[in-house]
Chain A
Amino acid sequence: MVFETRGLTKTYRMGEVEIHALRGVDLDLYAAELVVMLGASGSGKSTLLNIMGGLDTATGGRVRYRDQDLTRASDHALTEFRRDHVGFVFQFYNLIASLTARENVAIVTDISRHPMAPEEALGLVGLEDRLDHFPSQLSGGEQQRVAIARAIAKQPAVLLCDEPTGALDSKTGIRVLEALEHINREMQTTVAIITHNEVIGEMADRVVRLHDGRVVDIHTNAQRRAPAELHW
């Protein structure tokens, strides 16, 4: 078991109102599996992923990564956890505007133990000829792919992707998914993908559905389909 959450809650307080983003999530993620998370906008997907990735802390409940309790981990411990184990793809890319595509990847490979070359990672997402472009010179989809290259380049133990294909057409989307699947298969990386696209669920080992801050359904696919076979 890689991740284990029990009764996970997250409450945002905005002045007078309280927003319950997570209302008690129990979820296990296993080693080397590929999980797709589906759910309506605002159902708490990003919140859950952020907490598992150590980007945010829960209001209640527990979250463990292997034998490490993340619930009460210090800021320092969370930083080390992210540095050593996690790759992220953010919903809003979050590239550094002053760095080129290659450098945006290098910023992560510079501090990881067994990274790929930034060029190789960018090749996996089909950007080998845009290495020296700045984010402002790339389209939204290209920026998204840089963000994915950045996440996979460090060859992390877990890869958490928040809508990695949201801004892409189906052809590039499939290339990106292939890259993720490749990492998952070759390196035994646990991959979690958030998406609004039901079709993508077919490539997963399991599909987790969230609704209003709760896990409402977990479906195990008898067979994973290759990304190339998907259509939307």
Chain B
Amino acid sequence: MRALNRKLFRDLFALKGQAAAIAAVIASGVMTLIISVSTLDALSLTQQRFYQDYHFADVFADLKRAPDSLTERLREIPGVNQVETRVQAPVRMEVPGFADPVRGLLLSIPDGRQPVLNQLHLREGRLPDSGRSDQVAISDAFAEAHALRAGDGLRVIINGRMTTLRVSGVVLSPEFIYQIAPTDLLPDYERYGILWMNRRALAHAYGMDGAFNNVVVSLQAGATSAAVIDHLDRLLARYGGIGAYGREDQPSHRFLHEELRQLRAQAVILPTIFLLVSAFLLNVVMGRIIRSQREQVAVLKAFGYRNRDIAAHYGMLTGLIVLAGCALGVGLGVWAGTHLAAIYTEYFRFPELRFRLQAWVLVLAVAVAAGAAMLGTLRSVWSSVSLPPAEAMRPEPPARFRRSLLERVVPDRWLDQGTRIVLRNLGRHPAKAGLSVLGIAMSVGLLVMGAYQIGAVNHMLDTQYRLVLRMDVHLTFSDPTPARVAAELRHQPGVLGVETYRSVPVRLLAGHREYRTAIQGLDERPRLRQLLDAGRQPQSLPPEGLLLTGYLARDLGLEVGDSVQVEVLEGHRRTVRLPLVGVVDEPLGVSAYMRRDALNRMMREGPVVSGAWLLVDRSLEPALFERLWDLPGVAGIGMIADAERNIREYMGDTILMFALVFVLLAGSIAFAVVYNNARIAFAERARELATLQVLGYSRAEVSAILVGEIMALTVVALPVGWAIGTGFAWALNQAFSMDMFRIPLVLTPGAYGFATAAVLAASAVAAVLVVRRLHRLDKVSVLKAVE
């Protein structure tokens, strides 16, 4: 069948524009799947390996101080495998050449060697030498942010005393894959670092000789963390333990877990939508291309080619296009996936990222794309071969035209012949026109969804930083501090407003569900940290009772009026019941709120606070910071503007990056669909249009008919596409609600406008390309060729 193969390649070449467009649709679908799944896979695989190879602990506990002799008793807890006791100290640092205050956490490691749990991965240099008290290993993110290398000096204030330490090495830890300060939402590597030094030296400097204030344990196979946590809590209570917790509450793990969850949602929903849309389009477009070859099918059949030969022939045509599309999609997907995964390693510090392409992803992508395209192909081949060849070889049965509905409504003289032809062409094949409309509408929908993601993320951040967090500076104290500190802060240079808060770590229990968080005790009407109600208006706090982030309340299955069991993890460690008196609408983070005086009463303490929010005069900031650092008891100073910049960067690098890739893919799909529609319309009308030109219609008039048809389809598709896009956005929104943030379902007119403009532009380009083709059309040969 050599001649048939030659026909295959000639056809493919003749269809090159359309074939390329179809390949682009396939590539987009395949690429989406590969990016999403392999980024997710790379992160979770890397995480698993890191945890395993470096012995990430299962349970963690902080306490005030316990003697080393307790270690043996910890080891005897049933279910515990290994125990690592540590000294940890919050520190302040001065980094040469960096003006802003830097906070840090200094952790102990056994003298000169790796701990049993949470081992360190050395990126550079070595661990502190045995017996040395002036060496630290530092986290690689922190080292990178300040270009610190092994051998560099660092001034660290431990327990109020400044010492100069030398960097012995740069390390990574499974405990700080996501390295974040306790009160922050996102990492700030410049202003927060983790350091490790020899146990004896740190214990000495921090007044912890022969004692520890932090313990991590691993579990025996089959043991549950809940039992061990209970046991630990009981043992550590008299040593000032503030509640042991499992991996799910370990900040780094929790965040990574959330991120993976979000990626998983994205990895399911986006490729599903993309692949379904591409499958639909492939089916329709390939079907129509094959149908335009109906007469050739009949000729082949008349000469004795069997149905399966013909199916194989067109199957091969489609197969080559699918193959090209898949190859392109896999190539681009792996390339983009590696890059996106690399972006994530900016935020998640792993020793190395393990990227792999799993066979099932490939198989699935190719199967969906090939399946859809083949279905469209074979459907059309089938409908062509099932006609007797004599009938199929005749030109399509003369169509029965009718006056279209519009023509019947609109007075005759308003419509010229061209418009009439457009209307009747569309009316003649309502099913075909309907599929074209649906195809374009789907691509409009994809664009709306992409634009929605970008718009909604910005809307979410605007809400958080314009309406919720209205302070400039966030101060945390190392210990509860008398509330009168507010007056003192108010007199600092440049301070325009002060509000204080009390924060108490708690475990919330409702039914069988529990959640570890902190209760924020606020003023009756907090102005620097607003609590929004469902209508996004600031609400004030009732004298008693608890408010929860709406998302958390729903997650715990609570409604206003229910009572919540609150297990206090600090001080007296009592369990109390509080009524839920309201919910707070906030897009980032989850928390619990109550009046500060009520919280103080619950804690059986005087009016004390854990931190303060300041409104400041930016021009006086440097002077202010100098004074603040010298205040006793200040553990941390956070600048909201920095945090906002960080989170915007993070979103920009991750979610928005994804969204952008998808918008580009959606755009290419939109173009592919519109262009293919236009080309097919052109092929179907070539003869008619040539006839009109021969009859004396000008090029412009004839072009107007073709363009009119393309544009008419697009215009009808737009509102349908808006509706589809709204549906897609809703599906995405459902998948995207989690602890760290909830992207709201806000569809701005901008999202619709963007999608509309993009599709209109694609239509315009397609129209120009087709009109150019029309102008090059050899009228005589078209008329000569007998159909």
Instruction: Name A's B-contacting residues (CB within 8 A).
Output: 15, 46-47, 50, 53, 55-57, 75-76, 79-80, 82-84, 86, 88, 90, 92-94, 96-99, 103-104, 106-108, 110-112, 135-136, 140, 150
Contact = CB atoms under 8 A, between A and B. Distances in A.
B389 A83 contact: no
B781 A55 contact: no
Contacts of B298: 94
9 contacts: A50-B388, A56-B389, A79-B304, A80-B304, A82-B303, A83-B305, A90-B302, A93-B786, A98-B7
Contacts of B295: 94
B505 to A, nearest CB: 75
Contact of B6 (A88, A97, A103): A103
B641 interface: no
A111 B302 CA distance: 12
B211 to A, nearest CB: 87
Given A90-B302, A97-B785, A98-B14, 8 more contacts: A47-B390, A76-B306, A82-B303, A90-B393, A96-B7, A107-B7, A136-B785, A150-B303
Among the interface residues B11, B302, B309, which one has the most CB atoms of the partner chain A within 10 A? B302
Contact of A99 (B6, B307, B385, B784): B6
A107 B3 contact: yes
A7 to B, nearest CB: 20
Interface in B255-307: 295-296, 298-307
B3 A106 contact: yes
A110 B781 CA distance: 29
Contacts, number: 92
A107 B302 contact: no
B296 A55 contact: no
Interface string B379-392: 00000011011110
A129 to B, nearest CB: 20
B410 interface: no
Given A92-B786, A98-B14, A103 B7 contact: yes
Nearest to B300: A107
A63 to B, nearest CB: 13
B305 to A, nearest CB: 7
B2 interface: yes
Nearest to A93: B786
B388 A55 contact: yes
Contact of A111 (B14, B296, B305, B386): B305
A46 B388 CA distance: 14
A94 B393 contact: yes
Contacts of A75: 307, 385-386
Contacts of B393: 55, 90, 92, 94
Interface residues of B, number: 35
Interface of B: 1-4, 6-7, 10-11, 14, 295-296, 298-307, 309, 385-386, 388-391, 393, 400, 781, 784-787
Nearest to B395: A92
Contact of A79 (B296, B301, B400, B787): B301
Contacts of B296: 96
Given A50-B390, A92-B393, A140-B784, A108 B10 contact: no
A104 B2 CA distance: 11
Contact of B11 (A98, A112, A140): A98
A79 B784 contact: no
Given A90-B393, A96-B7, A98-B11, A55 B302 contact: yes
Contacts of A94: 295, 298-299, 302, 393
Nearest to A140: B784
Nearest to A107: B3
Among the interface residues B14, B303, B306, B391, which one has the most CB atoms of the partner chain A within 10 A? B303
Among the interface residues A56, A90, A96, A150, which one has the most CB atoms of the partner chain B within 10 A? A96
Contacts of B787: 92
A107 B7 CA distance: 9
A99 B304 contact: no
Contacts of A106: 2-3
Nearest to B397: A14
Nearest to A57: B388
Nearest to B4: A107
Nearest to A47: B390
A6 B647 CA distance: 86
Contacts of B10: 98-99
Given A55-B388, A92-B786, A99-B10, A107 B303 contact: yes
A83 B7 contact: no
Given A98-B11, A136-B781, A110 B2 contact: yes
